[in-house]
Amino acid sequence: MIQHCTKCPLPPLFSSELCWEHLPNAERAEWLKAALQDAYYYGDMSMNLSGVDFGGASFRSAHMDGLILREANLDGCDLSGVVVMKGDMNGASLRGANLQNIKLCECQLNDCDFTNANLNSANLEGSDLLRSRFIGADLSRAHLFGADCTDADFTSANLADANLRSSTLVNCELSNACTDRTDLTDVTYERITEENEE
């Protein structure tokens, strides 16, 4: 098994000897198509897609347990209905992505950018969301039971009817966030900031 890209110390892409950075531009589209097809048809496979630029791609309803999407660009992607258990998406950018009904349970989602993403009815149970940004995101009816949201930014986010039971909201930013009927039972939220800005 190849541990490194043949041109640098980064891990190689799934079924390649190269990392995304060193994969020739001409081969990127073909590689993306193959990777997405594998995700759909074989599912439940652990793939390393770190650093890949998926801007606008559709992953609708794919099953990708153990997926590694560290630092990937998923801006504007359709990830609705996707199921990922114990995946690693630390540092991924998901601005404006459609994550409706996504299941990201017990995942590493630290330092992610969910700005203006649609997380309606998303299930992020037991995931780590440290320092992630949910500015203007729709988290209505989302399920964040036991999630660690320490230092996360929910400015202007919609948390209506969301379940944040037993989650950690230490030092979270909740300015202008909608918390109508949000379940905050047993939440740990010392040092929380809740200022309303004009």
Query: Cβ 20 to Zn ion, closest distance in Å?
Result: 8
For tokens 């964040």, name the residue. Answer: 144
Instruction: Work out which of 14, 16, 19, 93 binds Zn ion, going by CB under 5 A.
Output: 19
* Residue 4 binds Zn ion (CB under 5 A): no
Query: Cβ 34 to Zn ion, closest distance in Å?
Result: 18
Measured from the CB atom, is 10 or 184 closer to Zn ion?
10
* Residue 7 binds Zn ion (CB under 5 A): yes
* Residue 33 binds Zn ion (CB under 5 A): no
* Residue 8 binds Zn ion (CB under 5 A): yes
Measured from the CB atom, is 7 or 191 closer to Zn ion?
7
Count of CA atoms in the C-beta half-sphere (13 A) of 49: 27
* Residue 181 binds Zn ion (CB under 5 A): no
CA distance 36 to 160: 33
Q: Which 3-state string (H, E, C) describes the chain?
A: CCCCCCCCCCCCCCCCCCCCCCCCHHHHHHHHHHHHHHHHHCCCCCCECCCCECCCCECCCCECCCCECCCCECCCCECCCCEEECCECCCCECCCCECCCCEEECCECCCCECCCCECCCCECCCCECCCCECCCCECCCCECCCCECCCCECCCCECCCCECCCCECCCCECCCCECCCCECCCCECCCCECCCCC
Q: Which stretch binds Zn ion (CB under 5 A): 18-26, 35-43, 149-157, 169-177?
A: 18-26
Q: Which stretch binds Zn ion (CB under 5 A): 17-25, 135-143, 174-182, 189-197?
A: 17-25
Q: What tokens appear for 84 in the block?
A: 């990922």
Q: Which stretch binds Zn ion (CB under 5 A): 2-10, 56-64, 70-78, 181-189?
A: 2-10
Measured from the CB atom, is 13 or 137 closer to Zn ion?
13
* Residue 122 binds Zn ion (CB under 5 A): no
Query: Cβ 70 to Zn ion, closest distance in Å?
Result: 14
* Residue 139 binds Zn ion (CB under 5 A): no
Q: Would you tell me which residues interact with Zn ion (CB under 5 A)?
A: 5, 7-8, 10, 19, 22
